[in-house]
Amino acid sequence: MRLARFALLGALVGALAAGPALAQEAEAPTPPAQKWSFSGLFGTFDLAAAQRGFQVYESVCSNCHSMRLLHYRDLAGIGLTPEQIKAVASHNTVPLGLNDQGEPITGPALPSSPFRSPFPNEKAARAANNGALPPDQSLMVNSLPGGPDFVYAVLTGYKEPPPGFNLQSGMNYNEYFPGHQIAMPQPLQADQVEYADGTKATIEQEAHDVVTFLTWAANPEMVQRKQIGVRVVLFLVLMTGLTYVVKRKVWSDVH
Ligand code: HEC
């Protein structure tokens, strides 16, 4: 009995001593705030950046991350024409249901197809990624604390581990990822894509563009929402003014 009590005490002291050390290891700096076209009350999506960001997603991120909630036709929202959408879709081979013999068939995606997923299921995704699951990116920016700034910080935060850091095998050191170990290898390199509009493809530019695209994808109705908000506030201000004028008029005879 007494022995058990000692063991419990020992475990407690151990946990207390280990607590701060663990917390220190898991601590990641707050991601620095970036300048985004879409932030603020009057922010809108920089469509050129979002289109470049789609190019980064398509040629880099989509090799590991799915975006199951998006369909190719949704790209009209960042200014792609129906012809461009058809062309983008047809470069992707996706499941197209069953043939007359009941066998699954694949073929070029249509504008109405959901984005191609890189892996058929979660097990295959983990097997290809050292056991880690690349999260679906449809709503990723919204679900991560720190949002766009955090995603940008992770994409640009790969570094050599400091001396003495215990990096597990298959993991990569990242300044901004909790615990500083991430299974995703550094996805962006300079000039990894060639932008059609001549923008120089630095790692920072690619990160900025892909985050703009991912934020649009997770909030395609954000601009309308803000515009409605501004109109509602204007209306309320106007109504307040009007009500005041009417009140003065109605009470003007009462002394
Ligand atoms: C080689 C495969 C691969 C590529 C390419 C890749 N990722 Fe990842 N990504 C992963 C894996 C695996 C994880 C899970 C990491 C973990 O849990 O340690 C991940 C995690 C992330 C996270 C962290 C999510 C979280 O929960 O905090 C972000 C953000 C992210 N990826 C964004 C991107 C973006 C943006 C791109 C394209 C520029 C990209 N990734 C390209 C494999 C990849």
Check pocket membership of 129 for ligand 1, CB cut-off 6 A. yes
What atom in ligand 1 is closest to the CA of residue 150? 29
CA distance 70 to 85: 13
Summarize pLDDT for 146-202 with one digit per residue, the tens.
999 999 999 999 999 999 999 999 999 999 999 999 999 999 999 999 999 999 999
Separation of alpha carbons 124 and 161, rounded Å:
29
Answer whether 238's CB lies under 8 Å from 230's CB. Answer: no
Which residue in 97, 38, 84, 40 sits closest to 58, CA to CA?
Answer: 84
Cα of 146 from ligand 1 centre, angstroms = 15
Q: Is the CB of 179 under 6 A from ligand 1?
A: no
Say yes or no: CB of residue 49 within 6 Å of ligand 1.
Answer: no
Cβ–ligand 1 contact at 154 (below 6 Å) = yes
Per residue in 15-24, pLDDT (tens digit) is: 554 444 444 4
Q: CA angle, 30 as apex, 66 and 129 as ends, to 5°? A: 30
What does the pLDDT profile of the chain (255 residues) look like in tens digits? 455 565 555 555 555 544 444 444 557 899 999 999 999 888 999 999 999 999 999 999 999 999 999 999 999 999 999 999 999 999 999 999 999 999 999 999 999 999 999 999 999 999 999 899 999 999 999 999 999 999 999 999 999 999 999 999 999 999 999 999 999 999 999 999 999 999 999 999 999 999 999 999 999 999 899 999 999 999 999 999 999 999 999 999 887
Choice from 63, 65, 173 to test ligand 1 binding pocket (greatest atom count within 8 A of CB): 65
- Phi and psi at residue 24, to the nearest 5°: -65, -40
Is the shortest distance between the CB of 186 and ligand 1 below 6 Å? no
C-beta of 178 in contact with ligand 1 (< 6 A) = no
Closest CA to ligand 1's atom 40: 61
**213-233 b/e (C-beta count within 10 Å ≥ 16 → b):** bbbbbbeeeebeebeeeeeee
Nearest-atom number in ligand 1 for the CA of 210 is 35
Q: What tokens were used for 107?
A: 């073929």
What's the CA-to-centroid distance between 184 and ligand 1, angstroms? 5
Longest dimension (CA), the chain: 91
147 lines ligand 1 (CB under 6 A): no
Distance in Å, CA 136 to ligand 1 centroid: 9
- Give the residue, by CA position, lying nearest to ligand 1 atom 13: 134
- Test site for ligand 1: of 34, 60, 64, most ligand atoms within 8 A of the Cβ: 64
